Amino acid sequence: MVLSACQQDEYRQSFDGFYFKTKTKSVDDNRLQFAATVQKAAQSLEGAREAAAYDATKYCIANYGTSRILWAVGPDAPADQLRLVDGDLTLTGECNP
């Protein structure tokens, strides 16, 4: 079982040396607007920012064919503007097709 977990890691993207569970979903019924949430962001806040931006970019490409994002609270936001709830980081923005 340990061997299979190692093999799966080769297909996962690490950020700042950590693997993060991320989920990006639309806000309400507007698929342009999204929230990208990263679990256990305290492992590495910098890595969590990168993971959220990566997942949000994949979301916009999958839904609109573009990687352009207008961030409301993005990966470059000052630390005091970041939203951490129960250790999870959430970034918000809008796909810009």
pLDDT one-digit tens code per residue, 54-86 = 999 999 999 999 999 999 999 999 988 998 999
Among the listed residues 1, 97, 82, the one whose alpha carbon sits nearest the alpha carbon of residue 41:
82
What's the pLDDT at 69?
98
- Tell whether 8 is covered by a domain: no
- Tell whether 51 is covered by a domain: yes
Q: Are 93 and 56 in contact (CB under 8 A)?
A: yes
Range(s) of the domain holding residue 53: 13-95
Name which residue leads in pLDDT, 24 or 83. 24
CA atoms within 13 A on the CB side of 3: 0
H and E: helices and strands count for the chain: 2, 5
- Tell whether 45 is covered by a domain: yes
- Tell whether 30 is covered by a domain: yes
What's the pLDDT at 13?
85
Residue 25 has pLDDT above 60, yes or no: yes
What's the pLDDT at 60?
97
Mean pLDDT within 38-58: 96
What's the pLDDT at 9?
54
- Tell whether 29 is covered by a domain: yes
What's the pLDDT at 4?
47
Q: How confident is the model at residue 8 (pLDDT cuts 50, 70, 90)?
A: low
Q: How many domains does the chain have?
A: 1
